[in-house]
Structure 1
Amino acid sequence: MTNLHRAEHRITVQAPAPTVFALIADIDAWPRIFPPTVHVDVLERTADEERIRIWATANDSVKTWTSRRVLDPAGLRVSFQQEVSQPPVAAMGGEWIVEPQPGSRTLVRLTHDFRAVDDDPEGVDWITRAIDRNTDAELGALKRAAEQAAGAGGGALSLRFDDVVDVAGDPAEVYDFLYDAGQWEKRLPHVNRVGLEESTPNLQLLEMDTLTPNGAVHTTKSVRVCFPTGSIVYKQLRTPPLMTVHNGRWRIEKSPSGCTVTSTHAVVLNPDAVVPVLGEGATVQDARDFVRDALGRNSTATMLLAKEYAERAVRER
C-alpha cells in the first residue's frame, strides 16, 4: 500500500454559510466559478449523491477524472472520492467543510488525501503543487463569487447567451470546421494567429490573436474538450481584461434540413476594468452590451463560415 498524504486549506468568506455551501454544491456552475475547472459532466445524480466526470487544469496541463460526491446540506459538507484518477495520482479524496462564523462570515476548509503512483517522490511533489495551486485558486474564486452573490448587484456581472445558425449540410462537416481550429487563421477574418496543441485526442490547447472592430488585438488561450461530432466545450485560461471568466460551447444538432449550430457563451465581467476599457462614465450594463456584441459577432461569423464550408461540400458531391 502506498503512503497516504493529507492537505488542508482554509479561507474566510464574508457571506452566509448557506450561500457558500450552495455554490460548492452546484457542480454545474463550477466551470463558471472555479478557474481550474474546464468542464463537468454529471454521469449519475440522486438527491444527495453525484457521480461526475471533470476536466480541469493542473500544473499547466489538463487532466480528467471520475469522482463520486456525497452532499450533506444539513451538515454543510461535501465529500468527494475519485473513482478513476490520472497518473501521477493513484487515489484522491477529500471534503469541503463549511463552518458558520459570527457576523455572517463563513470559514471554508478544503481537505485532500491522496496517494501517488508507486509512491514516486516526483509524483508526490507534482500532486502537492497541483493541490496547493488549484485550491488557492478555487478558494479565492469561491470567496469572490459568494461575496458577490451576497451583495447587491452581483448577478449583473454574469451573462449567458446563445447564437444559432441553421445549416443545409452534414453535421460532421460543421464539426470538422469547428474542431480544426488550426486552420482558423486562414479561414476566419477576425483571427490573426493560431497555435493549437492536441497531445491527448480530443483535448486541445488553443491560443489565438483576435482582432476587435477598433483594430486592437486580444490574445486568448483556451482549453477545448471535443465530443465528436456533437459539441466542443471550451474555457479561456487567458481572457481579455473586461472578463474574469469566459466559457463556451459549440453544439451541433441534426435537423430536417441538415443541422442547427448553437454557440453558447457564459461570461463573468470584471467590474474594475469597465472604465479603463470602455472609458469614463461606462457602466456594467455598457460592459454587458459590449461583450454580448463582440462575442456574438465573432461566434456568428465563425458559424456562418462553417455553414458555407458544409454547404459547399454538399454542392461539390
Structure 2
Amino acid sequence: MAHPVTHHTEHAITVAAGARRVFGLIVDIGRWPETFPPTVHAEHVERGETEERIRIWATANGEVKTWTSHRLLDREGLGVRFRQEVSQPPVAAMGGEWIVEPLSATESRVRLLHDFRAVDDDPEKTAWIRRAIDHNSAAELAALRTAAEQAETRAELVLTFADTVEFTGDVKAAYAFVDEAGRWPERLPHVARAALSEETPGVQTLEMETRTADGSSHTTRSVRICFPHERIVYKQLVTPALMTAHTGAWLFREHGEGEEPGGSVTSVHTVVLNEEAVTEVLGPDATVADARAFVRGALSRNSTVTMEHAVAHARRDGD
C-alpha cells in the first residue's frame, strides 16, 4: 500500500520592521481577524508561555473552514510551529512554521512554511489545498508587512468600542433575535435587505444592505460564528469604503442567581479605518479623528437600535 504523499510549500516576504515586532503580531492571535484577511475568528483553547492550542475560523477558496491547531512558540528563535489536530476535508493533515529572520534592526524576512496531505491523495483536492495556501499565505504575509511597517500610524486607524443594554426578560430570546438576522428587514428600521445562509450549523454568511442617516445605503457581507445563547462573533468580508477591516461580537450575559431575571447584551466593534478614503467619503477637510467619530457614531447607533429591538423581543417572549 502506497504511503500518503506529503506536499510542501514556502512563501516569504521582506518587512521593513524589527523582527520582534513582526513576531509579536504572529503570536497575538487576538489581532488576527483585523490583521489577516482570511481569518474570521481565532481564540485560545489552552495557553502557555511556549505551547498553546488555538481554534481558528478562516476562509479558504471562498469557503469557511475551522480547525484546532497545536502551536509551539520559540520566543528566542522567533519561530512558531503549528500542527492541525483535526483537519477539515479536503485537508487530511496540515502543519507548518512561521520563521522570522532579522536582517537588521529595522528589517526582517518572514518565511511561512506548510506541509499537507489531501484526503485520499486526490489530485483535485491537492490542487484545491495548494490554491488556498498560495492565496491565503500571500494575503497574510502582505497584511503582516502592512501592520508591522505602519504600527505607529495604524494605532490611530484602529478603534475598538462597546455598547451594552441591560434588560429584564429572556436572554435566549434576545440571542435568537440577533441570530435570526435574515428577518432584520422586517424588524429593524435601518436594514433594507438581508440574506442569511447557514450551510454548516453555527457558521452563517450574512449579506445586508444598511440605510445610513443621510438616506443613502451600503452593502456589507459578513461571516458570523455562533455560540448559542452566549455570543456571535463576525467579520465583514465586504466593508464600507471608510473601513479596511471590521470585526465584532454580540455578547449575551444572564444575571446571576438571586438577581432579577434578565441580563445584558453587548455589541463590540473593532474597525480599521481606510485613511485614503477619509476625504473622499467625509469631505476634503475631514481628518482621521473625524472618521473615528463618524464610524463610532454610526456603528453605535445601529448596534444600539438592534439591541433595543432584541431586548423588546426578549421582554415580549418572557411575558
Q: Could you tell me the TM-score, scaled by structure 1's length?
A: 0.97
Identity of aligned residues (%): 59
The answer to whether the Cα contact below 8 Å between 2:15 and 2:108 also exists between their aligned partners in 1 is yes
- State the Cα distance separating 1:185 from its structure 2 match: 1.0
The one of 287, 291, 302 equivalent to 1:298 is 302
Give the aligned partner of residue 169 of structure 1. Answer: 169
Once the two structures are superposed, the pairs formed by residues 165-314 of structure 1 within 5 Å of their partners are 165-255=165-255, 256-257=259-260, 258-314=262-318
* 2:25 corresponds to which of 23, 26, 49: 23
* Aligned amino acid, residue 131 of structure 1: I
**Equivalent position to 2:91, from 89, 97, 113:** 89
User: Which 10-residue stretch deviates more, 101-110 or 234-243?
Assistant: 101-110
Aligned residues of 2:195 and 2:206 also touching (Cα < 8 A):
yes
Distance in 1 separating the partners of 2:199 and 2:26: 31
Secondary structure of 2:213 counterpart: coil
Counterpart in the other structure of 2:47: 45
Other-structure match for 1:131 = 133
| 1:121-147 CA distance string (max 9 Å, x none) | 111011001001111110111011001
- Counterpart of 1:109 in structure 2 is 111
Measured in 1, the distance between the counterparts of 2:246 and 2:133 equals 23
Q: CA deviation at 1:102?
A: 3.4
What is the CA distance between 1:31 and its match in structure 2?
1.1
SS in 1 for 2:59: strand
Deviation at 1:217, TM superposition (A): 1.1
Please list the CA deviations of residues 154-208 of structure 1 after superposition, one character each: whole Å capped at 9, or x if unmatched. 2111100000001211111001100001100111111111111100011100000
CA distance in 2, matches of 1:96, 1:216: 44
For the 8 Å contact 2:18–2:104, the answer to whether it is kept is no
Give distance in 1, aligned partners of 2:142 and 2:218: 26
Superposition deviation, residue 22 in structure 1 = 0.4
Q: Which whole-Å CA distance do the structure 2 matches of 1:207 and 1:284 have between them? A: 28
d(CA) in 1 for partners of 2:76, 2:240: 40
Give structure 2 stretches of 5+ with no counterpart.
none
**Do the aligned partners of 2:82 and 2:95 also contact (CA within 8 Å) in 1?**
yes
User: How well do the aligned residues superpose, as a CA RMSD in angstroms?
Assistant: 0.9
The residue matched to 2:82 in structure 1 has which SS?
strand
In 2: Cα distance, 1:242 partner to 1:48 partner = 38
Number of residue pairs matched by the alignment? 313
User: What is the TM-score when the length of structure 2 is the normalising length?
Assistant: 0.97
- Secondary structure of the residue aligned to 1:153 is helix
- The residue matched to 2:150 in structure 1 has which SS? helix
Shift of 1:229: 1.0
